[in-house]
Amino acid sequence: MNLDTTKGPIFIGGLDRCGKTLLRALLVSHPRIAIPEIGSNYWTFFYGQYGDLKQSENFERCLRAMLRYSHVALLQPDVERIRREFQQGEPTYARLFQLFNEQYAQREGKARWGDQSGLIEQYAREVLGAYPGAKMIHMLRDPRDRYEASLAHAPHGKARVGGATARWLYSVRLALRNQQEFPARYCVVQYERLVREPEATLREVCAFLDEEYLPEMLAMVGAGSFREKVEQGKYGNRAGGLITTEFIGRYRNAIPKGEIAFMQSLAGREMRTWGYAPEPITFTAGERLTYVLGGWPLNWGRMVAWWGTTALQQRFPAQLGRKPPVDKIRVKHA
């Protein structure tokens, strides 16, 4: 399969638990679009961390690190081909990442490659600058429901609502910045509208991508494993159906009101901007004292810590850049 060089790649960004996997399942059901099922996280875990890739030793260090990462290894890349093709073009991180996804698209028999990756919006300038014609879709969700879904997936997370609020604010502020800088190449899709109006929303996404909308996309014909998991209820859905609105508003019965109050107090303005209305919270005298003296300052500290760590990782990728989790590293690789 020859790749379409007239249209740029497709990137899906946004926080975890915001619908990236759902959107990917819809898009890969198009006969022209290939996006790996698992987020690549190339830019988060590898970009800028191994020095100038013009130097062969830096390239090899980066390549070895990528091949140890399970999300990359699952693509079963032809490593020698990557080495050979990398030497034939511009020696940049963006080009190296591209070679992995181009191979995947060709094996899938698709003409256009894409990628999904959490918080890739923080690299929108680098990504859209590196790939002519590339389009980026930013998935956005009510921060309270996103937090509830995150806790359901990882109930023992240490950052709690402080980290969740910091992440959401960081992401939505990038959404606004990137929309202003790249109005024709950056699109924000809200999870709630996607599940409430899937056909209308998907038609708009296809128009943004300059691709034809096809009805079979809603049946997720090209995302068999995801479709099977949904049908078996492995994502927690109870109502049935591939696309459901049952995950909207779950936070009301799952998140302590002190945490909801914290999130709304810090992110209320941004929530209103995107149509997520804060709800009134009523405390007893004891609850308010606990919130003011305990919950609020503790989560404020977690929020500031997340922002500070992220700023350092962005500024000093080679020294402080994020690494793949230990359980995602393979000891042996191709």
Domains of the chain (ranges, CATH numbers): 10-328 (3.40.50.300)
Among 73-77, 121-125, 228-232, the minimum mean pLDDT is found in 228-232
Please state, in angstroms and rounded to a whole number, the distance separating the CA atoms of residues 210 and 239: 33
Mean pLDDT of the chain: 94
Q: Are 313 and 176 in contact (CB under 8 A)?
A: no
Closest CA to 225 of 80, 18, 37: 37
Q: What is the CA radius of gyration of the chain?
A: 21
Give strand pairing partners of 34.
Answer: 113
Please state, in angstroms and rounded to a whole number, the distance separating the CA atoms of residues 158 and 251: 19
User: How does residue 86 score in pLDDT terms, banded at 50, 70 and 90?
Assistant: very high
Nearest 5°: the CA angle 324, 190, 267 is: 75
- Position 331 pLDDT exceeds 80: no
> Strand ranges (DSSP E) for 131-218?
135-140, 186-190
C-alpha distances (whole Å) from 139 to each of 21, 71, 117, 119, 238 are 10, 21, 11, 10, 23
Q: Which strands, in side-by-side order, build the sheet including 135-140?
A: 33-34, 112-116, 10-14, 135-140, 186-190
User: What are the percentages of helix, strand and coil residues in the chain, rounded to 5?
Assistant: 55, 5, 35
User: How does residue 191 score in pLDDT terms, banded at 50, 70 and 90?
Assistant: very high
User: How does residue 155 score in pLDDT terms, banded at 50, 70 and 90?
Assistant: confident
Among 82-86, 88-92, 154-158, 282-286, the minimum mean pLDDT is found in 154-158
Q: Are 69 and 324 in contact (CB under 8 A)?
A: yes
- pLDDT confidence of residue 233: 82
- pLDDT confidence of residue 333: 41
Please state, in angstroms and rounded to a whole number, the distance separating the CA atoms of residues 92 and 89: 9
- pLDDT confidence of residue 211: 98
- Position 139 pLDDT exceeds 70: yes
- pLDDT confidence of residue 293: 92
- pTM assigned to the model: 0.95
Closest CA to 259 of 244, 231, 279, 276: 279
Q: For the packed helices 93-108 and 79-86, what is the interaxial angle rounded to 10 degrees?
A: 130
Quick: pLDDT tens for 233-260: 878 777 778 999 999 999 999 999 999 9
Among 130-134, 165-169, 213-217, 226-230, the minimum mean pLDDT is found in 226-230
Q: What is the mean pLDDT of residues 250-271?
A: 96
> Phi first, then psi: what are they for 44, rounded to 5°?
-70, -45
Quick: pLDDT tens for 195-247: 999 999 999 999 999 999 999 999 999 998 999 988 888 787 777 789 999 99
- Position 49 pLDDT exceeds 70: yes
User: How does residue 332 score in pLDDT terms, banded at 50, 70 and 90?
Assistant: low
Nearest 5°: the CA angle 233, 235, 237 is: 55
Q: What is the mean pLDDT of residues 270-299?
A: 95
Q: Are 30 and 113 in contact (CB under 8 A)?
A: no
Closest CA to 149 of 241, 254, 239: 254
- Position 334 pLDDT exceeds 70: no
Q: 135-140 and 33-34: which strand pairing? A: unpaired
Q: Are 24 and 189 in contact (CB under 8 A)?
A: no
The helix or strand, by DSSP H or E, that contains position 115, with its residue range, turns out to be: strand 112-116
